[in-house]
Amino acid sequence: MILSILKFPNNRLRTKATAVKSVNNTIKTLVKDMFETMYTSDGIGLAATQVNQHLQVIVMDVPDSSEDYKLILENRKTKNSESLTRKHPLCFINPTITRKAENKIHTEGCLSVPGYYAEIERFNHITVEALDENGKLFTLEAHNFLAVCIQHELDHLKGVLFVDYLSKFKQRRLKEKYRKISSV
Ligand code: NI
């Protein structure tokens, strides 16, 4: 089932997600629906917060190369071509970052802030611990874009958006712009 995605500046995006107590069938269905929603929207990551489910659940499928990422973004805009086949579905339940190193600036976007991209500084190398969609604990070491994506999605679970790292002035302008869009 395709779920509807909350859009900035909706206040429900500010809700803090609670930990999943057990990876039961309800959670498994949520994970399945979140993957479907993410792929349909040509996204590379989606947090449960964005679909108004305030549980610590993230799905992700980050492309191998920046060329593949460009194709996904292009498809998001035009919807003319077939979606790129994805290879790395990842699910993180109750994720925590246990190690972080190196700062780097990457360009980020978000399905909750459609059409907006900004340069954000994050850790470029992290270790994350989480449960997978079967409730099994795993540890993942991530670099570059995958590391960025994990930090971006983890922020969603805390009610934080990538635009919160922008200057107050830019945030205000963006809020006005998106308020107008959502009221049309
Ligand atoms: Ni996002």
Rounded distance between C-alpha atoms, residue 3 and residue 115, angstroms: 19
Rounded distance between C-alpha atoms, residue 65 and residue 32, angstroms: 25
Distances (CA, A) of 156 to 70, 109, 142: 23, 13, 18
pLDDT given for residue 181 in this prediction: 81
Q: Where are the domains of the chain?
A: 11-183
Asked if 48 and 33 touch (Cβ cutoff 8 Å), the reply is no
pLDDT given for residue 84 in this prediction: 64
| CATH class (in words) of the domain with range 11-183 | alpha beta
State the distance from the centre of ligand 1 to the C-alpha of 152, rounded, in angstroms: 6
State the distance from the centre of ligand 1 to the C-alpha of 113, rounded, in angstroms: 7
Whole-angstrom Cα Rg for the chain: 16
Q: H helices within the chain, ranges in order?
A: 25-40, 66-78, 144-157, 168-183
pLDDT given for residue 183 in this prediction: 65
State the distance from the centre of ligand 1 to the C-alpha of 130, rounded, in angstroms: 19
Each residue's pLDDT tens digit in the chain (184 positions)? 999 999 999 999 999 999 999 999 999 999 999 999 999 998 999 999 999 999 999 999 998 777 777 788 787 777 765 666 677 899 999 999 999 999 999 999 999 999 999 999 999 999 999 999 999 999 999 999 999 999 999 999 999 999 999 999 999 999 999 998 876 5
Q: From the candidates 121, 141, 153, 176, give the one annotated as an active-site residue.
A: 153
State the distance from the centre of ligand 1 to the C-alpha of 118, rounded, in angstroms: 12
Q: Is 36 a catalytic residue?
A: no
State the pairing for strand pair 90-108/57-60. Answer: antiparallel
Phi, psi (degrees; rounded to nearest 5) at 120: -130, 140
